[in-house]
Amino acid sequence: MSTRVTAGIKAKGSCGSRNVFFGVAPQKGLCVTAAGTVVHGKLERGKGVVKGMRSFKEIPHTGRNGWLNLLKFWRENRFQQLHKHMERTFNMLGPIYREKLGTLSSVNIMLPSDVSELFKSEGLHPRRMTLQPWATHREIRNHSKGIFLKNGEEWRADRLQLNKEVMMSAAVKRFLPLLDEVAKDFCRMLQTRMEKEGRGEEGKCVLTIDPSPDLFRFALEASCHVLYGERIGLFSSSPSLESQKFIWAVERMLTTTPPLLYLPPRLLLRMGAPLWTQHATAWDHIFSHGEDPEGVPALKGQLSLDLIKANITELMAGGVDTTAVPLQFALFELGRNPEVQESVRQQVRASWAQAGGDPQKALQGAPLLKGTIKEVLRLYPVGITVQRYPVRDIVLQNYHIPAGTLVQACIYPMGRSEKVFEDPLHFDPSRWSREEGQRAEAAGFRSLAFGFGARQCVGRRIAENEMQLLLMHILLSFHLSVPSSEDLNTTVTFILQPETPPRITFSKL
């Protein structure tokens, strides 16, 4: 068995001293970045390699007893602040550490160079952490599993088919006008509300609201229009109760997922635990919205009706909060950074004028829109980790990682690290345009909000374009500001979101 080795850089002549990047004791005897191979458990000497790797057990850790760690997490409410816990732990232990919580053990990393090595070892059928409570629900209800919960050749076959339907350029060209229509209607709805409720000095229309309920309705309306080819009328004055229940069910499902990851779901099922009952009931309601798979034009292909239903349910459940919440953060950051807002608006106006109503051309001519989404997801990633199980032994930070180990790339700490980004807390969409000229191998592993490679988010193209189109039409119609520019406190349910949704002031241009 043979793999590449990537090690960290140390100060010249600093073998055994403090690490330049993290200020912690480095790997003994390793002085330069080097590549080598793991052969029969030994490190082959490569250029610049001074001594062999360290063992898996020597990786810094947060405590060996997973159940005591889990108890501490519950007592200290760390699940809701897991992103901050990871950030603090990296600051204390360095760029790699082990953690065991209940039945779940992982190695956590945050440097792009290490993430690059991890993804090189993902194999033909990449695996990420199985969300066992979701899988258990499918099994006990006799539902087919979508690609999110599959692995191996079965996953690959379904994924290749889905890629044609929602990821390829032909698919994007097909659904962009649908998303554009919903985005325009959202702005019309906001304009109508502003005329009815808005107040401002000198007769100006100004509306200050918490836009999160409207953004959730937008995300659900857009998803339904793309996946079902139908509008469900969520921008009317009285949205349907069923749609509101669907949004509630998704939020309940996401909230109950994290604590269930560290406990055996079937044991909780036999005990009749309220947590499991809430989780399963939420999924039952979500599945009830996918009962008509034949009405789904976006996923025909060669998939069976059961698989269409399973995947459409996962796409619907994963396509509401995961776009609505980043849009909250985007409006907030644009509102408290007026110069950035104006530079994006000017580019959008010019591009829209030249596009002749073609949404694809309009987006292509406004790279700052894409940079805005990437910058929002750098600071506020929807999912705070990306996971893989390497198919062969690898070496990270000069530690041996056995094949089959759960390794998590922690993207919230990465996005806010001075070791990875210059001035990381500054909101700067233009940084991504500048980075396109960088050719460093690990440069592409600094933006991982949608995952990477064959197992990246299957709804990525829908989500990216959905968010960009809405921001485009909002910036063409409204000026954004915020009553308070204080940093937002964030919390983790299953996704990262603001503890309190920010209020946004919309002013008619």
Strands 38-39 and 5-6: unpaired
CA distances from 303 to 16, 118, 291, 318 (A): 57, 31, 16, 20
Do residues 418 and 424 make contact, with C-beta atoms less than 8 angstroms apart?
A: yes
| Inter-CA distances, 282 with 195, 219, 241, 276, 279, Å | 37, 19, 15, 10, 5
CB 482 within 8 A of CB 460: no
SS (H, E, C) 72-114: HHHHCCCCCCHHHHHHHHHHHHCCEEEEEECCEEEEEECCHHH
List C-alpha distances in Å: 225 to 221, 462, 482.
Answer: 6, 11, 31
Rounded Cα distance, 404 and 183, in Å? 43
* Cα separation, 193 vs 200, whole angstroms: 14
Distance CA 175, CA 462 (A): 8
For 179, list phi and psi in degrees, rounded to 5. Answer: -65, -40
For 119, counting Cβ atoms within 10 Å of its Cβ (0-12 exposed, 13-18 middle, 19+ buried), the class is buried
Q: How far is CA 479 from CA 206, 321, 471, 482, 507, in A?
A: 9, 24, 11, 10, 5
Whether 410 has a binding-site annotation, put simply, is no
Token pair, residue 458, equals: 């299957």
Which residues neighbour 116 within 8 Å (Cβ) at sequence distance 6 or greater? 6, 441, 442, 444, 445
Binding site for heme: which residues?
457
Binding site: which residues?
457
